[in-house]
Structure 1
Amino acid sequence: MAGLRLGPLLRYVDWETGSRATVWVETTRPCTAVVRCADGSSGSSPTFAVEGHHYALVVVTGLTPGSSTAYEVLLDGRRAWPLEGSRFPPSTITTPAVPQPEEAGPVRIAFGSCRWAAPPAGGHDLSPGSRLRSSEEDAIGPDALDTLAARLAADPTAVRPDVLLLLGDQVYADETSKATRQRIAARRDLGEPPGAEVADYEEYTHLYDESWRDPDVRWLLSTVPSCMIFDDHDVIDDWNTSGAWLEDMRRTPWWHERIVSGLMSYWVYQHLGNLSPDALAADPLYAAVRAAPDATETLRRHAAEADADPAGTRWSYRRVFGRVRLLMVDTRAARVLDEQERSMLDAGEARWLRDEVLTDRAAYDHLLIGTSLPWLLPPLVHHAETWNAALCRGERGGPDGRWARIGEKVRRACDLEHWAAFPESFRQLSELLREAGRGPDAPATVCVLSGDVHHAYVAEPRWSDSVPDDTSGARILQLTCSPVHNSIPATIRAGFRLGWSRAGRWLGRGLALHGRTGAAPMDWRKTGGPWFGNQLMTLTLHGRKAVLTLVQARERPTGAQLETVLERTLTSND
């Protein structure tokens, strides 16, 4: 008899028709998965197999626009969800009313990144001289995702996000918990590389078990649609930092299996649910996986090709929520790493992003760019990264000189690999966002949504020819929110505070002079933060109005609570 191993996850809800959704499940054996809704709508799919695991992505059709309907999951005709005796409210699928644009209600988009399901067994810095042991989970505070789930489960009438954006580091392949290490140790010798890090597909499934089987998070993901994109820890810290880094990794005996397994598991557990029913129907890889008795080799071949030729695979995608356009951008696998042609996005990916941003701008009031890595960083960090990129490029002493070698060491030691570390890509993105935010068809806001850097902040650019308080174009913002659940070392807090300070700006300018990097295409300033803690941001978009909220999970005598740290109107334009 088939059982439900993981899920269900409500992934895609169709905002164009209001009548379709997708639900992802992992089962214990081959079966037919059925999603049956209380309003009579339904969908079914046979499972497909990868490495002895069984999955289905069920397309539900016939949903009523503007409704919220409870659903259940049946496996070979037997109910597997809701779980017997569940303390949670029914899982529901909520669809938009898809009215005329002027009648549309608000769109609520919650986002964040960097979530440890459990602290790593090896410890992590909290303050100088201190270590976090796995028995000290309370030291990093409550999980913001867990706390959101508890709030919504306790009050079924509470306002829920329309979608949850998970902007990277959904799992940590290189920082495993005590429980995961024990499971790995039962399979192989931890004394052999890669040690307690994840080695293959089966061990990746342990990470998703640990992360998504958490009862509160499991219920939350069953009832709030989600969009996901990877970052480095989904594979390994500093993934694709540089060409030299990649050469070193490819010389290790375990790397090939890690990257292939990482991309395979990402496709199954995260990427597949990002796609619309129409995109799924047109995807030859999805068709081949579903048709194969065992899709392991089909998917392994795809992942190996994606690693060997990143330009041949697109992980980025577009989602539309009424008059809100979201572009989720791959800033890890799509990189060009040659020092003389270094780019955050390959040429095809850059063209895709430009076309998606500028095509039919009148169709959206708000443009959201989801990129795990922030576009605008604290000025000191930004200049440190552009300086480092110049050294590694050979600006001082040539590409084989001493400064280039020092630059590569510093780059890896200090994680200097954000947009600023790809100066030409930073310039291109800045100009693209500026172009998107100008002219008669400009949206009300252009927001870059990011995580990664373990603090939250709001930053705004100002070009030299901008008119002060000009309201004729879009308000362009960098909105960064991280972590959902992770440690915040004291050194990181101090470093980022310095990075935003006046002294940090001066230090940054000194680095720019030494690296001969030239001036940035514009200036920017922090208009909110920095905030440290386990947190989530939410954008509430209604017509051309936008409101930003930041909540933090804090432990109180009555239990963990989400407390509002910021609520700010970004634009009040009608």
Structure 2
Amino acid sequence: MSGLREPDLGPIVGHMTSTCCRIWIRGIAPEDHGADLAAAMRTVGLVVLVDAVGRPLDIDQQPLAGGPDARPFAYYFRLRREFDRTGTFMFGEETALGLEGLDNAEPIAGAALRVGPVGQPAGPLPLTPDTSYRVRVATLTLDDTTPDLERMSDAQLAQRLPNIAVMARLVTELDPERCEACFSTFAAPDDEPSSLAFLLGSCRYPGVLWKTKEADRIFAPMARQLIGSDATAALPRPRFTLLVGDQIYADKYSRFVPVDRAETFSDFQSRYHEAFDAPNLRRMLRHAPTYMILDDHEIEDNWHRDRLATKRGLFTTAISAYMSYQWSHGPRTFGRHLYYHFTSGGYPFFVCDTRTQRTYQRAGTVLDNHLLGRPSIDPLFDSQLEIVKRWLSRQQAEHGAVPKFVVSPTVFAPSPIDERLDPALDGRGALAPPDLARTNLAHRADSDSWSGFPATRKALLEHIVAGGIDNVIFLSGDVHCANIAQMRFDGLHRGERVALHLYDVTSSALYWPFPWADGDPNNFVHDSELPGQVDGFPLFDGRLTMHYRAYGFYQAENFCRLDVDRARARLRVRVFDRNGRLARVGDEAGRLSDYNSLKLSPW
């Protein structure tokens, strides 16, 4: 057995509730060589609740006493080879490793008071809502002669581990910069605050040669905001970060250029190590929850599932790495599906997978393109689209106009200007109604944006309108240019005007050193009703049209801070540059402003 080590990567503070928090790490064994993991060695994680100077606490959150009867607030957990020696522990919810080997006849209410295997608390110790905690995480390695085809049970594994009180005391000797995580649980559901702040970002290009350190720069001010140690300290501290795609670039140059292009698991592992071991990002990830979702560059540029016919091996390798390094510390709401939802401060979030289920089906048409999987035809098997629609309806029914955040890594609006629904592009009059099947088909048929998936867009918008679902805010990335789109509806639905509030807030890119390649604000529609920008989206057989105005463009590296203000029924959006300075951007009237304040319906 090896001694206690800091994690190879992590800790990452993942999914959070009011009473628990998921902690992620990756371990390493002495005989590992990259993705070639030593079969004769097993790694185990250790998580310990500690005080402000790193000393272990007991189950009553008091300093851990000496002696054989000490009861640390600590647990062992598995780091699995099939997940590249990564693992998570749901602190406050999971029970002791090996508990299934005990007599569980005693009621669960008393489980935490019993001694589990090797001195662990036998049951979960729930955390307190809206409370700050500090943990240290470590790994240890065991010799393992179990054949690969056989599984060692948790109870068998626990029998081979040392008393946890002994190991918990050793965490004080570890480097806190590489093993310590700090977090604050969310407020209790019946005591939700009226405000909420969080950070939003996407697209971390890794950089090349001496520029690799530039890719990590922006995460220093993001970490300072999460910790509350910068100029924004007077504002409410952000509760979490959303990273909405392209956390790695598997194809550093191009999917068509066979240079530095990830193809093997070792290649993908290297991409994640380069990103998650960068000092500023590593610090940010261990100081507040981070929710992640993939986009194309976690696999390859503009990925869609039609490529599975020729690139299934690439897809399975990329997704295996993604699930080990990103998906595993998320909520896992729908089993092994990549999309999920969570709630923070009483505000609901649905995080869509707009990448792995998209399909173009047939060349030369757009009406059979689907972004969130094919629509459901079997009532027993819902598509992602149906799940999102039902989630929106439930939030409106149960919580009224409470803002509903829908993460769509692909930008919902604005459209790229060359993909607009402008009848004039087909030689028809500017006032002619757009035809979703034919208008500007040459540019939309294989588009990577929502404009190439009108059936999905139409189904979602018509569901929002028909259900009176108010205060829907899409959160997006991908396009290497921050902006805000404010949508509205012209026409009548059931004889009445539609006065719903609908926005898309985009933050991109965290690092992208090629501004001449894409992201130019002039390449996006700014006003869908102006000549040369016409992009109205018809709904309900043309009786209603969705129009939008886009503003607040910022092309340089950036992240966004969003503040929900219930008292004023506003969503305030601030853009920060790579040094953490507030960026002045255009407001709805075209004036430079420190922030944009989006009007919402009261709730």
TM-score normalised by length of structure 2? 0.68
Aligned 8 A contact 2:11 2:181 in 1: no
Aligned partner letter, 1:357: L
2:24 aligns with 24
Equivalent runs, 1:2-21 vs 2, <5 Å? 3=5, 4-14=7-17, 18-21=18-21
**Displacement, 1:214?**
1.0
Aligned partner letter, 2:27: T
* Residue-by-residue CA offset, 1:139-172 (whole Å, 9 max, x unaligned): x787432332255568299453211111110100
2:572 aligns with 548
Aligned partner letter, 1:169: D
**Displacement, 1:476?**
1.2
* Residue-by-residue CA offset, 1:454-496 (whole Å, 9 max, x unaligned): 11111111211379xx9996521111111111135236354x3
**Displacement, 1:87?**
6.3
Distance in 2, matches of 1:503 and 1:23, equals: 44
Of 269, 273, 288, the match for 1:205: 269
**Displacement, 1:411?**
6.4
Aligned 8 A contact 1:323 1:363 in 2: no
Equivalent runs, 1:120-139 vs 2, <5 Å? 121=208, 134-136=209-211
SS state of the match for residue 110, structure 1?
A: strand
Equivalent runs, 1:81-480 vs 2, <5 Å? 84=174, 91-98=181-188, 100-101=190-191, 104-116=193-205, 118-119=206-207, 121=208, 134-136=209-211, 143-150=217-224, 155=229, 158=233, 159-175=236-252, 194-240=258-304, 243=306, 246=307, 250-251=309-310, 255-275=311-331, 283=335, 314-339=337-362, 341-345=368-372, 346-347=374-375, 348-364=383-399, 365-378=402-415, 380-383=417-420, 395=438, 407=442, 416-435=447-466, 438=468, 443=470, 445-465=471-491, 474-480=500-506
Distance in 2, matches of 1:373 and 1:67, equals: 35
Aligned 8 A contact 1:368 1:448 in 2: yes
1:399 aligns with none
**Displacement, 1:274?**
1.4
Aligned partner letter, 1:92: C
1:129 aligns with none
SS state of the match for residue 447, structure 1?
A: strand
**Displacement, 1:137?**
6.1
Farther-moved stretch of structure 1 (144-153 vs 354-363): 144-153
Aligned 8 A contact 1:335 1:343 in 2: yes
TM-score normalised by length of structure 1? 0.71
**Displacement, 1:108?**
1.6
1:532 aligns with 555
Q: 1:485 to 1:82 in 2, by over 3 A?
A: farther
* Residue-by-residue CA offset, 1:288-336 (whole Å, 9 max, x unaligned): xxxxxxxxxxxxxxxxxxxxxxxxx632111112321101111111123
Distance in 2, matches of 1:493 and 1:563, equals: 20
Q: 1:89 to 1:358 in 2, by over 3 A?
A: same
Of 563, 567, 570, the match for 2:582: 563
**Displacement, 1:381?**
4.0
Higher helix proportion:
1
Aligned 8 A contact 1:33 1:45 in 2: yes
SS state of the match for residue 71, structure 1?
A: strand
1:182 aligns with none
Identity %: 18
**Displacement, 1:358?**
0.4
RMSD: 4.0
SS state of the match for residue 230, structure 1?
A: coil
SS state of the match for residue 326, structure 2?
A: helix
Of 77, 85, 89, the match for 1:58: 89
Aligned 8 A contact 1:141 1:534 in 2: no
Q: Which has the higher contact order (CA 8 A, sep 6+)?
A: 1
Aligned 8 A contact 2:418 2:523 in 1: no
Farther-moved stretch of structure 1 (373-382 vs 167-176): 373-382
Aligned 8 A contact 1:111 1:165 in 2: yes
Distance in 1, matches of 2:338 and 2:351, equals: 9
**Displacement, 1:275?**
1.9
1:67 aligns with 131
Q: Number of aligned residue pairs: give it.
A: 469
2:546 aligns with 522
Aligned 8 A contact 2:218 2:558 in 1: yes
Distance in 2, matches of 1:498 and 1:172, equals: 23
Aligned 8 A contact 2:490 2:497 in 1: no
SS state of the match for residue 454, structure 1?
A: coil
SS state of the match for residue 329, structure 2?
A: helix
Contiguous gaps of at least 5 residues in structure 1? 122-133, 178-191, 284-312, 397-402, 555-559
Distance in 2, matches of 1:135 and 1:491, equals: 21
1:189 aligns with none
Distance in 1, matches of 2:189 and 2:509, equals: 36
Distance in 2, matches of 1:35 and 1:275, equals: 19
Aligned 8 A contact 1:385 1:420 in 2: no
- The reply on whether 1:507 has 2:532 as its aligned counterpart is yes
SS state of the match for residue 491, structure 2?
A: coil
Aligned 8 A contact 2:491 2:543 in 1: no
Distance in 1, matches of 2:337 and 2:239, equals: 25
Q: 1:506 to 1:42 in 2, by over 3 A?
A: farther
Q: 1:537 to 1:520 in 2, by over 3 A?
A: farther
**Displacement, 1:563?**
2.1
Distance in 2, matches of 1:511 and 1:71, equals: 51
SS state of the match for residue 570, structure 1?
A: strand
Aligned 8 A contact 1:108 1:161 in 2: yes
Structure with bigger gyration radius: 2
Aligned 8 A contact 1:148 1:562 in 2: no
Q: 1:142 to 1:355 in 2, by over 3 A?
A: same
Aligned partner letter, 1:562: R
Q: 1:315 to 1:81 in 2, by over 3 A?
A: farther
Contiguous gaps of at least 5 residues in structure 2? 30-41, 51-56, 62-72, 93-125, 141-163, 376-382, 427-435, 585-593
Farther-moved stretch of structure 1 (1-10 vs 213-222): 1-10
Q: 1:81 to 1:50 in 2, by over 3 A?
A: farther
Aligned 8 A contact 1:535 1:550 in 2: no
SS state of the match for residue 325, structure 2?
A: helix
2:45 aligns with 33
* Residue-by-residue CA offset, 1:261-283 (whole Å, 9 max, x unaligned): 1111111111121125xx59xx5
**Displacement, 1:90?**
5.6
SS state of the match for residue 333, structure 1?
A: coil
Distance in 1, matches of 2:582 and 2:302, equals: 32
* Residue-by-residue CA offset, 1:326-357 (whole Å, 9 max, x unaligned): 01111111123213622112221111111111
